[in-house]
Amino acid sequence: MTLRVAHSLAPGALLLAVLLGGCRYDIDELFAGSTLDAGGSSGPVPDQLIEFWKDKPFSPYNDACAACATAQCGAANQACKQDPDCVEFTRCVAQSTDPVTEAQCRAQFADWLGQDVFGRDIGGPYQQCVMQDQCSEQCGARSNYECVAKFAWPTTNEPVVPFRFRFSEAFTLDEVADMDVRVCRADDLYCDSPIETARTDAKGEVMLGLKTSFRTFQGYLELNKQTGNPDTSIYPSLVRLGWPVSVEGVTNVTVINESSVALNVAISMVDPDPARGLLQVRFQSCAGLAAPGISFTTTPTDDASAYWYAGPDGIPSFTETKSYNIGAGGVINAIEGRHMITATRASDGVKVAETAAPVRKGYMTIVVISPMGTN
C-alpha cells in the first residue's frame, strides 16, 4: 500500500502530504473475507517484466503500456531482474491488480521491503517506474477501478499483527526520527487508553503490534513530535490506515511539519477554528496509486467545513470538485468526532470507497481511501 507523496509536489501545495490508501469498513461490521494465501510463484521470467501483468485480473496492461514500459523503464527492468526477490515480488503483485493481492504480497516479502521501505513501497521499484512514474497515462493504472466490489478483504485469527512504519516529511522527504507514536482504538477519539506506545528510530522507522478486533486492525495512529522549531516539529497527526489490516506489513507514511501546515492554511484564506480539526484524504486506485477523478463527501459536515482538492497544478483549490493526479482532497475546519468518508467517481457518481476516521481538534487526520471490496 502506498502512503507516500509524489516527489514533484508544488512548494505551495496545501496539506498534500496526505497519505495514500483507504478501504470500505466500519467498526460495527464483521468481515467475511477469507484468510490469506499469498500469491505469486516462481517460474519463467520474461524479458520485460511488464509481461507479468498480461491477461491478469483487473490488469492495466495494454500494448501502449507495454511499449512505454520497454522504452522508459529499461533500467528498472534490468535492476529488478538482478534481484530474485524483486522479480518474485513483481510477479506476485501482478497476479491481480487489487488491494488484497498487494497486501498478501507485501506480507510475503515484508523482510525484503523492510530493507528499503521508501524505494520498494507500493508494488516495488519496477511497478513504481511503470505504473506511477513513467507510463501512468499509457497504462491508466491511476484511474483503474476495475477491482471495485470484486474482491474480499481477508481476516485473521491472530490477536496481533506486526507492522513496520517508516515516516518521512512530505516536502523534504527526510526520515522523521524520535517521533512519539501511539496505537489507538477506533472508538477512542482522544486515545485515552493507547494499545501501544513507541518512538521512531534514527531511520524514522518503528515496528508496532496492531491489535486486531473483529479479526482485523481497525484503529489509528497518533503522531507527535515537538522540537520547539516549527520547521522540524511535526504537525500533530492521526493516521487512519486505509485498509483492514490482517497480515504483516511494511509501508512508508508521509507527514507534514508545522511551518508547512501553517503556511498553507494561511494561503487557503480560511480562518481555522481551534475547536475543529484538519482532514486530509488520499485516493488510491486498484494498483495502489494516487487516483485522479475522484470526489468525496464526509459526515458530519456544515457550512464552516471548507472542502479542497489538489488541482492540476498541485495547488489546493476550493472550487475544484474532483481529484487530479496527486489524488488528494481534504477539509479545513472538520467537525470533531467520528467521520464517515465516501468516495465516488466524479464522471458517473459510482461509489468506489467508504471508510470511517476520527477527527480531533488541533490535529490533522490523514486518511487513505482504497477501492472497496465485497465486505
125 & 189 share domain: no
Asked if 105 and 192 sit in the same domain, the reply is no
Q: Kindly state whether residues 111 and 187 are assigned to the same domain.
A: no
Is 342 found in the same domain as 275?
yes
Same domain, 175 and 259: yes
Can you tell me the distance from the alpha carbon of 130 to that of 137, in angstroms, rounded to the nearest whole number?
Answer: 10
Considering the domain architecture, whether residues 299 and 233 belong to the same structural domain is answered as yes
Measured CA to CA, the distance from residue 176 to residue 178 in angstroms comes to 7
| Domain co-membership, 350 together with 292 | yes
**Angle, in degrees to the nearest 10, between helices 63-72 and 74-81:** 80
3-state secondary structure of 250: strand
Distance CA 216, CA 246 (A): 5
| pLDDT given for residue 146 in this prediction | 96
Residue 149 lies in a domain: no
Last residue of a domain, one of 88, 113, 143: 143
pLDDT in tens, 60-107: 999 999 999 999 999 999 999 999 999 999 999 999 999 999 989 988
- Are residues 191 and 95 both part of a single domain? no
C-alpha cell read off for 145: 477501478
Q: Tell me, yes or no, whether 184 lies in a domain.
A: yes
pTM listed for this prediction: 0.86
pLDDT of residue 41: 56
β-pairing verdict for 364-369 and 277-283: parallel
Who contacts 360 (Cβ-Cβ below 8 Å, separation ≥6)?
A: 189, 190, 238, 277, 336
pLDDT tens digits, the chain, 375 residues: what are they? 434 333 333 333 344 433 333 333 333 332 333 333 444 457 899 999 999 999 999 999 999 999 999 999 999 999 999 999 999 999 999 999 999 999 899 889 999 998 988 888 889 999 999 999 999 999 999 999 999 999 999 999 999 999 999 999 988 889 999 999 999 999 999 999 999 999 999 999 999 999 998 899 999 999 999 999 999 999 999 999 878 899 898 888 899 999 999 988 888 889 999 999 999 999 999 999 999 999 999 999 999 999 999 988 878 899 999 999 889 999 999 999 999 999 999 999 999 999 999 999 999 999 988 899 998
Number of domains within the chain: 2
Q: Same domain, yes or no, for 114 and 188?
A: no
Domain coverage including residue 239 = 160-369
pLDDT recorded at residue 217: 95
Residues 341-370 as b/e (b if ≥16 CB within 10 A, e otherwise) read bbbbbbeeeeebbbbbbbbbeebbbbbbbb
Return the half-sphere exposure (C-beta side, CA atoms, 13 A cut-off) of residue 210: 29
Looking at residue 25, the DSSP 8-state letter turns out to be: B
Q: What is the Cα–Cα distance from 122 to 132, expressed in whole angstroms?
A: 10
CB 360 within 8 A of CB 366: no
What CATH number does residue 287 fall under? 2.60.40.1120
Residue 199 lies in a domain: yes
Domain boundary among 114, 143, 172: 143
Q: Are residues 359 and 331 in the same domain?
A: yes
| Pair 183, 137 in one domain | no
In our burial notation (b when 16+ CB lie closer than 10 A, e otherwise), range 203-214 reads: ebbbebebbbeb
